Chains A and B, each alone.
Chain A
Amino acid sequence: MLSTPMDSESTTLRDLPVGTSARVTAVNGNSRITRRLMEMGVIPGVSVEVIKTAPFGDPIEIRVRGYSLAMRKNEADSIEVSF
């Protein structure tokens, strides 16, 4: 899976570096996972911050709507963000 180059305006949550914040622009896909993410509040317009990654790089922890949420990198891939 090619990662979006960092110099363009938007990227996915997967590639957002630890410690940065961004705003969600789209949640792609139609799976149980994307639905779950949206029900937990990750929808276009909301602000997210990447807190850390687990050992081995996966899963990641983000901060959204005032709470901490963990997800796998391939799940984070479906969330488009921009600064």
Chain B
Amino acid sequence: MKHNGHKSQLTIALAGNPNAGKTTLFNSLTGLKQKVANYPGVTVERKQGTWKLESGQANLIDLPGLYSLDATSMDEQIARDVITGEQVGVPKPDAVIAVVDATNLERNLYLVTQIFEFGIPVIVALTMIDAFEKQKHEIDIAKLSALLKVPVVAVNAKTGRGRNELLKQLGDVVGKPQSVPFEMNGNVEDGQNAKIFARYKFISEVVQESVKHNDRKEHRLSEKIDRVLTHKFFGLIILVGVLLLVFQTIFSWASLPMDLLDKGFGAFGDLVRAEMPPGILTDLLVDGIIAGVGGVLVFLPQILLLFLFISILEDTGYLSRAAFLLDKLMSRVGLHGKAFLPLMSSFACAIPGIMATRTIESRRDRFATIMIAPLMSCSARLPVYTLMIAAFFAGRTVFGFLSLGAVLMLAMYSLGIIVAIAVAFVLKRTLLKAPPPPFVMELPPYRLPNVRTVLQNMFTRGWLFVKRAGTVILAISIILWALTYFPRTAVNEQSVPSTATANSEVRSVEAQADAPSPESEQLKHSFAGMLGHAIEPVIRPLGFDWKIGVALIASFAAREVLVSTLSIIYNVGKDQDAQSQSLISAIRDARSEDGTVTWTPLTAVTLMVFFVLAMQCMSTVAVVRRETNSWRWTLFMIGYMTSLAWIASFITFQGGRLLGFA
């Protein structure tokens, strides 16, 4: 580092093909000292970390995995800009470490030959050396280095091999200009492609002279595995099995921590309420902040687990096989094969699903997938479906053996899927119309997942979720809380002491079931209640009254909130859940001011249809805004979904009435 006496910090860029071990190297060099964000104005991920050098530190930038730098996609454009120093906010790199997969030399070297043209010092980090050597190939690293005219260091992120060598070479090359080690001349008739041919010609010669391949047996194992996993028939069945297993595991492993978190936040809220004097601040803290933010953080176990499995599937190489198997089906609808995992995940929760769309390279395909992801009925809709079915369809069967409830559930899920397919179809032909992007995709050899990379990925994503969705949710929770809290009614002000311990008061509230509870009165006269009355004309044609309107408004924050809001409206006491008898009877018995029955089975079905299609989740809105980097698209999604929800509910309710189901 003798050259850098005055320099505050070195900037080094890490470039390489996807699946070449770049991220693993990045993780091992930076440890936990990394941060992930977006480049300004685009959705390309920006990953930077601190690499501790012998003296001082270096700013290490992990560029997106690329096959080429000839800017056609956003990823490639950003990478070019970073290397040339034109990317806002990123200093021009002092050197580039080009990660090259030894088992895939020729194609990996292509990117390296492009990087030479930028004139920045390059060091080649050769990865997968152990796999390479296991297949009995031989490589003369010194020769390779001489031919490429750059230092070549064999690295193994797991064992730490090569790290010191990298440091040493770094010290040697920084400050010296990089030359292009071959002639770029080609046939005139090849035109633009001349460069590509010239590069590969050079590469073939280099590999020929420095590598001795052992009679090509190397891909046998992966090929054998693929004979089963991508089998024409069994491949799809196995895929379905793997997906079911993943979701079942996420569901069962996540439910305990989620329950604990839920109870934990509830207990925390009770504690705060008990320790603090009754009043606005306490109510804000407990019912607004803790309830609102806690409600979102409850999803964390699910998100962590989903990303754990995505990382494992991706690291092993299975995800690309899945995209391979499903591409035909998905492209019929205009979606990319890689869209299947985000969409499948959205059945648990759209948030990690939408975050998972990052693997889709084409912006339009990615947006199309994001726009329809929330139509996959997520787990938050379950309490709503369960409540409606329990109240009006319990115990009834279809064809004598299928429970009507199960049939309805299946119908709701199917409705979501069918509408999603239709919307994708329309979007890809209109707003998001684009020539089908290349499917051309590498099927990397199967590898054991790297534990460190997988865990690191999981925690990074989890933390991002907590930070981003959390800040927006915090803001909106406070607003929603304020809407139900203000203006204060006189009745409520007097009985504030009794509502201060709401949970223990449930029994006595139930005992006075006839008299409107202080909470119910408060709700009626609050801004939220006023809004409920205000939207009543709009929801009347759907068979909903203002009370249901209040619950609908509240549930735009989070779908499950419908259940708790209905409990409050019908005086049932705050900690009811979807199965509790008193809420169910309250719904059945609910009457409007003129005595007519509020809820019929048709109303219940209409409400379910509404919930299938409407955009009712602030956390999702926050994540969509972040992932698309566009308010326009976020608002468009809210708009089209809610309109569809209204229209479908209208058709359901009015159509049902015409058919005599009311």
Interface residues of chain A, those whose CB is within 8 Å of chain B, are: 27, 31-33, 35-41, 43-44, 46, 51-59, 61, 63, 65-72, 75
Contacts and interface: CB of A to CB of B under 8 A. Distances in A.
B184 interface: no
Interface stretch (B91-99, B227-235, B284-292, B456-464): B227-235
Contacts of A66: 103-106, 213, 216, 218-219
Interface string B85-113: 00000000000000000011111001000
B193 A38 contact: yes
A35 B103 CA distance: 23
B196 interface: yes
A59 B329 CA distance: 11
A70 B107 contact: no
Contact of A37 (B219, B440, B443, B445): B440
Given A35-B72, A56-B329, A69-B443, A61 B193 contact: no
B107 A65 contact: yes
B325 A43 contact: no
Nearest to A63: B219
A58 B442 contact: no
B438 A32 contact: yes
Which residue, B104, B197, B440, B443, has most C-beta atoms of chain A within 10 A?
B440
B466 interface: no
Contacts of B70: 35, 39
Contacts of A61: 226, 230, 324, 443
B442 A39 contact: no
B441 A54 contact: no
Contact of A55 (B110, B325, B438, B439): B325
A70 B443 contact: yes
Contacts of B105: 66
A39 B230 contact: no
A52 to B, nearest CB: 7
Nearest to A42: B440
B67 A40 contact: yes
Given A38-B196, A39-B110, A41-B110, A59 B327 contact: yes
Contacts of B327: 54, 58-59, 72
Interface in B413-449: 435, 437-445
A41 B324 contact: no
A32 B67 contact: no
Contacts of B11: none
Interface string B621-641: 000000000000000000000
Contacts of B107: 40-41, 65, 67
Given A35-B72, A63-B219, A55 B443 contact: no
Contact of A72 (B193, B222, B329, B439): B439
Contacts of A27: 193
Contacts of B209: none
Which residue, A37, A61, A70, has most C-beta atoms of chain B within 10 A?
A70
12 contacts: A32-B435, A41-B200, A54-B324, A55-B236, A58-B328, A63-B219, A66-B213, A66-B219, A67-B442, A70-B440, A70-B441, A75-B438
Given A55-B235, A56-B329, A59-B324, A69 B200 contact: no
Contacts of A54: 230, 232, 235, 324-325, 327-328
B196 A39 contact: yes
A57 B72 CA distance: 29
Nearest to B331: A72
A35 B197 CA distance: 11
Given A43-B200, A52-B230, A56-B329, A70 B324 contact: yes
Contacts of B443: 61, 67-70
B38 to A, nearest CB: 24
Nearest to B193: A38
Given A57-B328, A65-B106, A70-B324, 13 more contacts: A35-B70, A36-B67, A39-B110, A40-B107, A40-B442, A43-B200, A46-B200, A54-B230, A54-B324, A56-B328, A59-B327, A61-B443, A66-B218
A2 B474 CA distance: 61
B20 to A, nearest CB: 11
Contacts of A55: 232-233, 235-236, 325, 328
A45 B103 CA distance: 21
B104 A39 contact: no
A51 B223 contact: yes
B68 interface: yes
B106 A53 contact: no
Nearest to A55: B232
Contacts of B236: 55
Which residue, A33, A44, A68, has most C-beta atoms of chain B within 10 A?
A68
A68 B446 CA distance: 11
Contacts of B582: none
A59 B233 CA distance: 14
Contact of A71 (B67, B232, B441): B441
Contacts of B654: none
Given A54-B324, A59-B328, A66-B106, A75 B197 contact: no
A39 B437 CA distance: 15
B442 A68 contact: yes
A52 B224 CA distance: 12
A46 B199 CA distance: 14
Nearest to B105: A66
